[in-house]
Amino acid sequence: MEEIKTAHRAANSKMNFALLYPENDGGMNDRIKRLRKQSVETPTTLTIERALIETAFYKENYGKYPNAVLRAMNFLEICKKKTIYIGDDELIVAERGPKPKAVPTFPELTCHTVEDLHTLNTRELQPYLISQEDIDTYEREVIPYWEGRTQRERIFNHVSEEWREAYHAGVFTEFMEQRAAGHTTMDGKLYVRGLLDVKKLIQEQLDKLDFINDPEATDKQEELRAMDISCDAAIIFAERHAELAEKMAAEETNPQRKAELEKIADVCRWVPAHAPRDLHEAIQMYWFVHLGTVTELNGWDSMNPGHIDQHLWPFYQKGIADGTLTREKAKELLSCLWIKFNNQPAPPKVGITALESGTYNDFTNINIGGVTRDGKDGSNELSFIILEIQEELHELQPGLSIHVAEVTPDEFVKAGCRVIRQGHGYPSVFNPDCYVQELVNQGKSLEDAREGGCSGCIEVGAFGKEAYVLTGYLNTPKILEITLNNGWDPNSGKKLGLETGDPRTFTSYEQLYEAYHKQMLHFVNLKLSVNNYIERMFALYAPATFLSLFIDDCITKGKDYYNGGARYNTTYIQCTGLGTTTDCFATIKKHVFEDKRYTMDELLTAVAANFEGHEKMRQYIMNRTPFFGNDDEYADTIAVKVYEDLVKAIKGHPNTRGGETQLNMLSTTCHNYFGSVCHATPNGRLAHFAISDGTSPAHGADTNGPTSVIKSLGKLDQTQSGGTLLNMRFIPALLKREEDLDKLVSLIRAYFKMGGHHVQFNIVDTQTLLDAQKKPEDYKDLLVRVAGYSDYFNDMTEQLQNEIIARTENEEF
């Protein structure tokens, strides 16, 4: 998920425009309003319950069972013992913690120190509250046991000094040092088979095991037994909720609520043991599966229902047809699910690495629209209901994306754009015609690819059939910086890379590029060399035996999700800073090697001085260099080369799960962290400022308008990656009228025709405009609608800017 300024607006902030359905006119009903209020206002807390249950279990049982069985029994123990919760008004029930927004820890992956817990409790931004008593208990019961036994320690004890130094210098990050691999997204099978059916499938596989001729039969047996235990665990977890609901119903005096509680009890008795029969059961089924997955382990970008509009469509149709469901009731049930997503903040990180990712939510990204398995339009009435819910609830979670293929009707895209213009940063927009090709290029069947989509940020996979593991970000501007310093890192003062030569002695641009290329391969290989080790540690110590129930073909293979059980197995490295790196190359190529305006020494001296005393040079570079994002062949050719060389370096190495490595181009908020470890760069960027995000142009580099940006991006063969990211920014007034929305739809369609993978829009608010006045050079691309025409904010008189700011503010009321 890209950092979007407006996405972090408080949930009670104003919309840019009036809602389609204002108060109680098809909008949130009173129940949903109360539940939403509770979800938004409840402070995030840390719960030590899971850690206590798990630690006690490990103390007693570690070493007695194969790890897969141990993990499943641990999950069963948690499902049996954790505090369960059914809140007032709730229709969809169950929480990961003992109450809403109580976040468990996962000491088997990474164990928070006492200091970490204090920091989390007191920090100003996004605190996780925890009592002193709990901290004392944690210190006494949890921390001592896990010392030396966590995944994080296994990883850091293994890596070379070279890897460690590159990691600490910010050349790359490592995703799995604190969390498990995630990006798990469901297909539709959980709605057609209950866990009792799954247990039968497991038994069939157990019966088929050939201990004489299959050397892996024993391992498979343990994994299948563990999967079977995991089924029981989830069924027990649901039954405990049924019992609680029955008990609450017996005590309930309000007849309406009593009936609701009885229905909840019925639902929890039925799912997840059996396949759901109606919409209510289907939603609750998903929620139990979701919670099981995020309770078992703490996967990155947690868990995602995938194409929920397509999955739930048969239940909706059936309910409407037989009169047991209305549109309003369906919307209420889905809204209850939306609130459940928001009730689950992500478990917090430990130590200083929190810097790597400023935002910290669980990145559930719900996919709507798109295509069906047979390539038809996947949007339906539920897609529209979900857009309404997203607009009205506008919570931090879940995220939403609309999937716009050629076959997707304009009406749906426009409805999505109507939500986009509210300025909360969602829905983001994806192009199935592009990503289906990406997935097919990676070896997936066409049908499985069509059933795929995006999880988390912009990364795509075959839903319900793939384990795609993101392993960390690669800081490409940093690699260029190290190249320009002959292998040394000016920030840490350490030698991190290869000695590729003093660039002052280079006689051609090609020589410089070659040096960078060597350096890039060096760091990519350094990163790859550890990835496979980490994969094995997860296969050995942290198998996900519950998640494996829902990912084909774990059961038929008798293998875990982390051990090659999935039909498709991909390992990603995420590359950031394409815009910044390209602009640096363009600067050097043009001004040093071609125009010879500056010598390499002059340029590098100015860069080393953070351009202090060299403002004239900096301005000249920033204004007189063809930068990426302007549909300029000079820069775009460089970008294509940088991108394709990253693809070649990363793509196609075997991982330990029978799959291959791939790259994608996302940055989350890592471009801020990566910028903070980079000194000034030749493109005029000052020290420690953010580098460019995803595949977006660098800040202020694109001065030719949005059509030029999409043209530049369109030159990358995006199907060679597992995703690219483009951020665009508009002010609300630009999207005021119906025909403006049509134009936004056209812009999206045009970019996707050019082969774009993803785009998201930032509909900026007043604060951004004020920032733009203070720092115009960061906002060169800010296009605002003035009167009968549009202009760049930067190009206006202060007076007019002020007038527009005032106008925008008015529009917020």
Partner 1 sequence: MYIFDIKRFAINDGPGIRVTLFMKGCPLRCVWCHNPEGLNPNRQKMYVKKKCIGCRSCVEACPRGGLVLTRDGIQSTGVECTLCGTCVEECPTLALEMAGKEYSLSELMNLVEKDRVVMETSGGGVTLCGGEPLMHPEALVEILEELGRRGLHRTVDTTLYASEATLEKVIPHADLFMVDLKHMDSDKHRKYTGVPNEPILRNIRLIAEKGIRYWIRIPLIEGVNADEANIIRCAEFLKELPTRPEIVNILPYHDIGIGKHKRLGSDYNPDELVMSTPSQEWQEHCVEIFKSYGLDSKIGG
Residues that bind partner 1 (CB under 8 A): 615-617, 619-620, 623-624, 631, 704-708, 710-711, 734, 737, 740, 742-743, 746-747, 749-750, 753-754, 783, 785-791, 795-797, 799-800, 803
- With contact defined as beta carbons under 8 Å apart, do 560 and 544 qualify? yes
Distance CA 138, CA 115 (A): 12
Q: Which of 301, 261, 264 is nearest to 281 (CA)?
A: 264
Q: What residues contact 443, with CB distance under 8 A and at least 6 apart?
A: 568
Q: Which amino acid is at 302?
A: S
Smallest separation (angstroms) from partner 1 to the CB of 606: 13
Smallest separation (angstroms) from partner 1 to the CB of 688: 22
For partner 1, the closer CB: 83 or 619: 619
Taking only Cα atoms into account, the Rg of the chain, rounded to an integer number of angstroms, comes to 26
- With contact defined as beta carbons under 8 Å apart, do 80 and 74 qualify? no
Smallest separation (angstroms) from partner 1 to the CB of 753: 5
Q: Which amino acid is at 178?
A: Q
Is-catalytic flag, 457?
A: yes
Q: Which amino acid is at 209?
A: L
For partner 1, the closer CB: 551 or 784: 784
For partner 1, the closer CB: 59 or 624: 624
Q: Which residue has the tokens 């760091």?
A: 523
Alpha-carbon distances, residue 437 vs 405, 447, 719, 794 (angstroms)? 12, 11, 6, 39
For partner 1, the closer CB: 17 or 546: 17
Q: Which amino acid is at 9?
A: R
Q: State both tokens at 712.
A: 């530049």
Is-catalytic flag, 434?
A: no
Distance CA 240, CA 237 (A): 5
Smallest separation (angstroms) from partner 1 to the CB of 713: 12
Between strands 758-763 and 428-430, the pairing is antiparallel
Smallest separation (angstroms) from partner 1 to the CB of 484: 22
Q: State both tokens at 509.
A: 């641009």
Distance CA 477, CA 469 (A): 24
Smallest separation (angstroms) from partner 1 to the CB of 795: 8
Smallest separation (angstroms) from partner 1 to the CB of 736: 8
759 strand-pairing partners: 429
Q: What is the DSSP string of 17-30?
A: S--SS-TTTTS--H
Smallest separation (angstroms) from partner 1 to the CB of 788: 4
Collapsing DSSP states into helix, strand and coil, what is residue 621?
A: helix
Q: What stretch of H or E contains 269?
A: helix 255-270
Distance CA 672, CA 453 (A): 27
The neighbour count for residue 707, using CB atoms within 10 Å, is 12
Q: State both tokens at 532.
A: 């496979």
Smallest separation (angstroms) from partner 1 to the CB of 729: 13
Three-point CA angle 672, 673, 679, nearest 5°: 90
Q: State both tokens at 32.
A: 């949903």
Distance CA 144, CA 126 (A): 27
The neighbour count for residue 740, using CB atoms within 10 Å, is 16
Catalytic residue selected from 79, 111, 268, 457: 457
Q: What stretch of H or E contains 802?
A: helix 798-811
The torsion defined by the Cα of 678, 680, 681 and 684, in degrees rounded to 10, comes to 140
For partner 1, the closer CB: 601 or 803: 803
For partner 1, the closer CB: 438 or 702: 702
For partner 1, the closer CB: 467 or 607: 607
Three-point CA angle 532, 534, 537, nearest 5°: 115
Smallest separation (angstroms) from partner 1 to the CB of 630: 10
For partner 1, the closer CB: 342 or 794: 794
For partner 1, the closer CB: 18 or 114: 18
Smallest separation (angstroms) from partner 1 to the CB of 785: 8
Q: State both tokens at 143.
A: 């921390």
Question: What is the sign, positive or negative, of the torsion defined by CA atoms of 276, 280, 286, 291?
Answer: negative
For partner 1, the closer CB: 209 or 786: 786
Catalytic residue selected from 77, 388, 395, 459: 459
Distance CA 190, CA 271 (A): 10
For partner 1, the closer CB: 599 or 746: 746
Distance CA 367, CA 379 (A): 10
Catalytic residues: 457, 459
